[in-house]
Structure 1
Amino acid sequence: MADLEAQNRHPQISPPIFARANIPLTLKFDEVVYKIRIQPAGGLFKKKTKSEKRVILNGVSGSVFPGEMLAMLGPSGSGKTTLLTALGGRLGGDLTGNITYNDRPFSNAMKRNIGFVTQDDVLYPNLTVTETLVYTALLRLPHSFTKAEKAEHAEAVIAHLGLTRCRNSIIGGPFLRGVSGGERKRVSIGQEMLINPSLLFLDEPTSGLDSTTAQKIVSTLWELANGARTVVMTIHQPSSRLFYMFHKVLLMSEGNPLYFGKGADVLTYFSSVGFSLSVAMNPADFLLDLANGWCNSLFFFLDLASVLESIAFFFVGVATADTNEDQEAVKQSLVKAYKTQLSKVVKMELAVDGSLHTSSNDRMLKGWSNTWLDQFSVLLRRGIKERKHQFFSTIKIVQVLIVAFLIGIYWWQSTINHLQDQVGLLFFISNFWGLYPLFQALFTIPKERMMLTKERTSGMYRLSSFFMALTIGDLPMELVLPTVFYAIVYWMAGLKPTAGAFFSGLFVILYNVLISQGLGLAIGAVVMDQQTATTFGSVIMLAFGLGSGFYVQHVPVFIAWVKYISINQYSLKLLLASQYKYDQTYDCGMNKTCLVRDFPSVKSVGISTSGTILSVGAMAVMLVFYRLVTYLALMRVGVTRN
């Protein structure tokens, strides 16, 4: 009967649609301590001092059982998000204490049964709501489900979260109009609901939302908790309506727990330790005032002197505890009260057996949800759909076409008798298609970092499948514009009118694009900062251009080695080989013919069969090396403790 009532409450989602049967999870955390190393400020001429450790979490304990929703409250910097990240298995470093799930430590099997919604909604802006949830379903739901069943499950989540109206709207971003903030937050929650998580973490799910939208989201979470799930969230300043929906409350201040227990008992507890409300107000505001150590006329110590001071504040405006010393005293008294009155109660609750018979389920959850090929194909389609807007934006197409026609006009129908002009043209082409794809690729990994971290920590796919999808998915988009560019320039500039020369030159340009793209990906993955990566990439390409032998033909010995790692030098050598033969001559004036290979700009680079083979091989090594560096750099992204 109870199951029938639950089904009537949510007719859109029935148990068979869920990926697997819900496994109730009990979360326990005992004496959790987290420290970070603080490097003291110092200048160039200041003496270095030893770094110190700062305590972010100081002995926080608690437990949440299936069917309960825990809200962690506290002012900014109190350690709420740090604790949530630690409980979600996503925090490394100096972390001590005992965190268990059904009395077991964190594991990869457990990770795939836990949902984690970050404060910032990490979503692709150009995908629609339906596409976002369907792609997530294809990646996260088990291989035993067909694609149609996974899409059906995504549709059920859309209906359940009230996203039907905006299902075909794009997510949007800072400079792209899309769905509202509340709808974007519900999409993020929907991504985690797809796996029917037993334990759901949410970091500030109501941040930046109006009270009505916040009420809808918390009501949805409350219903999820009633479905035998465990819900843990951080929340900054909930309304009184939201506050009374929380089963349990954890109040923190500067990493110290001030209260842990039932939300309904919080006012009674603080009244018992000497703090009580003097006027009707939102309990959450009262708790945040306490956590900040701020004690004024809204509440007072339960003694005659405090009562008189409180009355004086009302009529005179004199605060009772408004100095830093008084605020610190209030905080310390609350910490002491917690240790003497609540810590034992929390320890008793931790002693309750939270283990369930989950060995068979653990076996079922081990390994990846989908095969490597399935992960690769989904990521490939998603990546192409998202990034095609970046590669084929109007401004980029117009930019390439304008540059192509400008070059064609400046070098209009040049001939071999103007050899310096033709060599300059080939160098410009190789240089342009070294810089352009490099700067395109520089921003790829930094932009993907948050998404990669989010999805990798959720165990959605292998890093290798993501990397191959990223590499192969960008190929068609990376190669279309240079092909169009080269075709326009080639015939306008009047280069060698043979199919062999055209296609060999096109091969060199596309080869150059792939290597430069790989270098850009490697720099972006290693640096992970767009501004720094741009500077670093500019300096490297400048060094490659100067070391190619076109600008400077008599390079000092101590810097001459740069040409051996210069992409520009090898691509220019191959472009020259595509246009000129080793024994080809040209009219050098005074009724003389000279060898092309002896022309200064050509001689410094060289054209020969052995040089061509060496250049192809060297560029092949670069192509593999830069991609390998990118992959190794990505291995550190999204790594969590096992």
Structure 2
Amino acid sequence: MSSSNVEVSIPLSQRDTNDLSEMTSSDLKSCTKKAILSFCNISYQVKVKSGFLLGRKTVENEILSNISGIMRPGLNAILGPTGAGKSVLLDVLAARKHPEKFSKDVLINGEPRSANFKYHSGYVTQDDVMMGTLTVRENLRFSAALRLPMTMTNHEKNRKINEIIEQLGLCKVADVQVGTEQIHGVSRSERKKTSIAIELVTNPSILFLDEPTNALDSSTAHNLFLLLKRISKQGRTIIFSIRQPRHSVFKIFDSITLLAAGKLIFHGPVQSAIEHFASAGYNCEPCTNPADFFLDVISGDLIAMESDRDEEDHECENIEEFSFKEESVTEKLAKFYVNSSLYRDTKSELDQLSHNQQRSSAFKEFTYATSFWHQLRWISWRSCKNFVSDRRTSILEIITIIMEGLLIAGFFFGIKNDCSTIQTRVWMFYVLTACHCFAYVSAVQIFLGEKQLFEHEHMSGYYRQSSYFLEKVLCNLLPRRLLQSFIITIVVYLIVELNPAVKAFFIMLLTLWMVACSADFMTLALTIDQNLLNPMTTFLTVRYFHYMLRFSVMALFFGISVSQLSWLQYISIPYFGMKALQHNDFLGQNFCEGLSETEISGCPNFVICTGEEFLRSVDIDLSPWGLWQNHMALGAVIIIFFIIAFLKLLLFKRLV
């Protein structure tokens, strides 16, 4: 691994990164120049908190320790036992880890990674993250629309997609849905090929894969690596983590990087690995899989097998000796590699590649290939396709809403417009308001349901967080709430006798929709910057609606008689909603029309013949402004919490 073998290629960072949207198809083809990825003394730490309350301490846990190497065009494998740091190293090299958590820098052809690094690299996740309700071609089309330059025509993009589909042998399933837990789709091997095809859309010089053989059988894994080998011969540098490959797969590798407990055990060509371990005193038998042999040596299993030959009376001592030797083997092999000629040659070449280079943070300032509105349009397109394609889930959601409306309306079935049912009607408005308030849980689930998909696509440079958030609000959250309010309002109007005016129907629909949206945006504003739902945040949200609903009942039945609690009306979403619903339904109503004096005197509790009388009794303004001020208050809640959520998103750069 001498410096004379360095291939001359155009550094990716020397290309113009100011405006990637101006790249043409010819520029994109030039991005397939061979790329040599080098890294020197990479260390990665994470902070772990331990203890309780005042005794809590923060300790830095080192995941990677002084890892150096060079990845050339071909198949570059990262091997090691579980917990060795394979995936962390892969993420560091792929610029998917925060630069402040690891030391040193990663270079491409001797230059720091540029702002458009993600256009010249692809990342295939372990779990094949993609939209399962879309077809193979539609997933590729979405990737091409957001990651290829806007100057490329649709004809050029479609031609590129067809070439990749043919290259990876996906022609038969190109128009088949990828599949979900409810939808039967393509096979696992075809799903993995689709994940690779999505990344090949940008013609990347470097392709990263995290455990590509996960959940694949031996034959399928072998065929997959034959495909990757064919792709690597086009001049691509393919870097992947893998746990325990079979012998036929291992023979395809060009170089391997062995890790154990975050330390570098070996890095270099496959052919040199066996010789290196032999020089350390570990000989691989001719019929043994080298990958299994390396892992056995690293984990200390070979020493354990030697210990088993000892006397059975010393079994406990052998186990303790094995634990000690397992730790010492890792240290011994790491030091042995540092003192080897392979390491010295690698360091010499790294010094030449990184000569006079300082650590750069350019890749943090990532630029997108498409505009904000272009991203918003295509994310909206995918959401609509997802809703239409996933008919079972969509129909089930509609049926659930209808059943909810029938349950509420059925409970209040038989209510008439007379003075004896006013309180019952108020209770119905209370139930409707509570139903829409507690639907806030599904607002967070809209984001959590696609959390893994969003994280992968955002880190791969598909779209901005702001465009994704705005699309979820405008094309998913608001329409879902409108559909829920519309169905429930229709069902209730068909079963219960409410204000028959057409205007009253739409006002009730608007009120319920605004109540639901207010609850949703308040929840999003609280949870938008969290990795997971915080139990404390969930508790506070639930408590808020419980107390505000109770306050609304007391205030609207008995008026706000306690001045110390009167301020609660200004922060209560249910209070505004119930006031608007009662104002809309009761104003102009004559409950005693057609009733005799005997029937009126027989009404329970109290006699109120007009809606105006009841509204006055609970301190509700009778003027049209009394109705619209409640809607304006709900609208202000929606706008304020939306702005808070959006600002927190821009500040913390993190969704729920």
Give the Cα separation in 2 of the matches to 1:215 and 1:354. Answer: 36
Name the stretch that deviates more: 261-270 or 88-97: 88-97
Name the stretch that deviates more: 121-130 or 516-525: 516-525
Residue 546 of structure 1 corresponds to 550
Q: Describe how 1:277-296 pairs up with structure 2 within 5 A.
A: 277-278=284-285, 280-296=287-303
Check conservation: 1:443, 1:524, Cα contact below 8 A: no
Residue 636 of structure 2 corresponds to 621
Cα gap change, 1:505/1:197 in structure 2, threshold over 3 Å: closer, same or farther?
Answer: same
Residue 349 of structure 1 corresponds to 349
75, 82, 91: which one pairs with 1:85? 91
Give the Cα separation in 2 of the matches to 1:262 and 1:392. Answer: 50
Give the Cα separation in 1 of the matches to 2:56 and 2:283. Answer: 46
Residue 411 of structure 1 corresponds to 413
83, 98, 110: which one pairs with 2:117? 110
Give the Cα separation in 2 of the matches to 1:366 and 1:633. Answer: 20
1:71 has 2:77 as partner: yes
Residue 514 of structure 1 corresponds to 517
Secondary structure in structure 2 of the residue aligned to 1:260: strand
Residue 273 of structure 1 corresponds to 280
- Alpha-carbon offset, residue 503 of structure 1: 1.9
- Alpha-carbon offset, residue 454 of structure 1: 1.2
Give the Cα separation in 1 of the matches to 2:312 and 2:233. Answer: 47
Q: Partner amino acid for 1:490?
A: Y
Q: Partner amino acid for 1:442?
A: V
Q: Describe how 1:238-253 pairs up with structure 2 within 5 A.
A: 238-253=245-260
Q: Partner amino acid for 2:463?
A: Y
Q: Deviations over 1:128-160 (max 9, x none)?
A: 222212111111111112223323322322222
Q: Partner amino acid for 2:629?
A: L
14, 20, 23: which one pairs with 2:29? 20
Residue 19 of structure 2 corresponds to none
Give the Cα separation in 2 of the matches to 1:526 and 1:343. Answer: 43
Give the Cα separation in 2 of the matches to 1:498 and 1:311. Answer: 88
- Alpha-carbon offset, residue 632 of structure 1: 3.6
Give the Cα separation in 2 of the matches to 1:403 and 1:374. Answer: 38
Check conservation: 1:597, 1:606, Cα contact below 8 A: no
445, 449, 454: which one pairs with 1:452? 454
Secondary structure in structure 2 of the residue aligned to 1:393: helix
Secondary structure in structure 1 of the residue aligned to 2:144: helix
Residue 587 of structure 2 corresponds to 581
Check conservation: 1:445, 1:528, Cα contact below 8 A: no
Give the Cα separation in 1 of the matches to 2:227 and 2:242. Answer: 15
Q: Partner amino acid for 1:408?
A: A
Give the Cα separation in 1 of the matches to 2:396 and 2:643. Answer: 32
Check conservation: 2:529, 2:652, Cα contact below 8 A: no
Q: Partner amino acid for 1:37?
A: K
- Alpha-carbon offset, residue 619 of structure 1: 1.3
194, 198, 204: which one pairs with 2:205? 198
Q: Partner amino acid for 1:111?
A: K
Give 5+ residue unaligned stretches, structure 2: 1-23, 356-361, 594-598
Give the Cα separation in 2 of the matches to 1:590 and 1:639. Answer: 63
Name the stretch that deviates more: 517-526 or 396-405: 517-526
- Alpha-carbon offset, residue 196 of structure 1: 0.6
452, 469, 472: which one pairs with 1:470? 472
- Alpha-carbon offset, residue 493 of structure 1: 1.2
Name the stretch that deviates more: 233-242 or 131-140: 131-140
1:184 has 2:176 as partner: no
Name the stretch that deviates more: 231-240 or 399-408: 399-408
Cα gap change, 1:229/1:316 in structure 2, threshold over 3 Å: closer, same or farther?
Answer: farther
Q: Describe how 1:111-510 pairs up with structure 2 within 5 A.
A: 111-278=118-285, 280-296=287-303, 323-341=322-340, 342-353=342-353, 367-387=367-387, 389=390, 393-409=394-410, 410-417=412-419, 418-436=421-439, 438-474=440-476, 475-510=478-513
Cα gap change, 1:214/1:430 in structure 2, threshold over 3 Å: closer, same or farther?
Answer: same
* Length-normalised TM-score, structure 2: 0.83
Q: Partner amino acid for 1:23?
A: K
Q: Deviations over 1:37-65 (max 9, x none)?
A: 2323x357xx7153322211110000112
Give the Cα separation in 1 of the matches to 2:221 and 2:393. Answer: 38
Secondary structure in structure 1 of the residue aligned to 2:221: helix
Residue 596 of structure 2 corresponds to none
Give the Cα separation in 1 of the matches to 2:222 and 2:617. Answer: 72
Give the Cα separation in 2 of the matches to 1:49 and 1:527. Answer: 21
Secondary structure in structure 2 of the residue aligned to 1:236: coil
Identity within the alignment, % = 26
Give the Cα separation in 2 of the matches to 1:197 and 1:638. Answer: 26
Residue 627 of structure 2 corresponds to 612
Q: Deviations over 1:7-27 (max 9, x none)?
A: xxxxxxxx9799432132221
Cα gap change, 1:249/1:237 in structure 2, threshold over 3 Å: closer, same or farther?
Answer: same
Name the stretch that deviates more: 56-65 or 219-228: 219-228
Name the stretch that deviates more: 523-532 or 580-589: 580-589
- Alpha-carbon offset, residue 106 of structure 1: 2.6
Q: Deviations over 1:406-433 (max 9, x none)?
A: 4334233521422112222222222222
- Alpha-carbon offset, residue 582 of structure 1: 8.2
Cα gap change, 1:180/1:244 in structure 2, threshold over 3 Å: closer, same or farther?
Answer: same
Q: Partner amino acid for 2:631?
A: V
Q: Partner amino acid for 2:397?
A: K
Secondary structure in structure 2 of the residue aligned to 1:116: strand
Give the Cα separation in 1 of the matches to 2:287 and 2:616. Answer: 86
Cα gap change, 1:214/1:392 in structure 2, threshold over 3 Å: closer, same or farther?
Answer: closer
Give the Cα separation in 1 of the matches to 2:331 and 2:140. Answer: 47
Give the Cα separation in 1 of the matches to 2:408 and 2:366. Answer: 58
Give 5+ residue unaligned stretches, structure 1: 1-14, 299-308, 356-361
Q: Partner amino acid for 1:397?
A: I
Give the Cα separation in 2 of the matches to 1:496 and 1:606. Answer: 18
Give the Cα separation in 2 of the matches to 1:344 and 1:434. Answer: 66
Check conservation: 2:615, 2:621, Cα contact below 8 A: no
Give the Cα separation in 2 of the matches to 1:515 and 1:84. Answer: 42
Give the Cα separation in 1 of the matches to 2:612 and 2:575. Answer: 16
- Alpha-carbon offset, residue 392 of structure 1: 5.8
Cα gap change, 1:466/1:602 in structure 2, threshold over 3 Å: closer, same or farther?
Answer: farther
- Alpha-carbon offset, residue 281 of structure 1: 0.6
Give the Cα separation in 1 of the matches to 2:170 and 2:26. Answer: 18
Secondary structure in structure 1 of the residue aligned to 2:128: coil
Check conservation: 1:30, 1:61, Cα contact below 8 A: yes
- Alpha-carbon offset, residue 518 of structure 1: 2.6
Secondary structure in structure 1 of the residue aligned to 2:438: helix
Give the Cα separation in 1 of the matches to 2:534 and 2:58. Answer: 28
Check conservation: 1:313, 1:320, Cα contact below 8 A: no
Cα gap change, 1:451/1:310 in structure 2, threshold over 3 Å: closer, same or farther?
Answer: closer
Name the stretch that deviates more: 197-206 or 87-96: 87-96
Give the Cα separation in 2 of the matches to 1:559 and 1:290. Answer: 72
Secondary structure in structure 1 of the residue aligned to 2:103: strand
Residue 590 of structure 1 corresponds to 601
Cα gap change, 1:593/1:335 in structure 2, threshold over 3 Å: closer, same or farther?
Answer: closer
Q: Deviations over 1:469-514 (max 9, x none)?
A: 2222124343224213212212421111112222222222222233
Secondary structure in structure 1 of the residue aligned to 2:55: coil
Give the Cα separation in 1 of the matches to 2:541 and 2:56. Answer: 34
Residue 34 of structure 1 corresponds to 44
Secondary structure in structure 2 of the residue aligned to 1:479: helix
Q: Partner amino acid for 2:379?
A: L
Cα gap change, 1:581/1:605 in structure 2, threshold over 3 Å: closer, same or farther?
Answer: closer
- Alpha-carbon offset, residue 597 of structure 1: 5.1
- Alpha-carbon offset, residue 441 of structure 1: 1.3
Q: Deviations over 1:88-115 (max 9, x none)?
A: 1111243102311222223321222111
Residue 8 of structure 2 corresponds to none
Residue 578 of structure 2 corresponds to 572
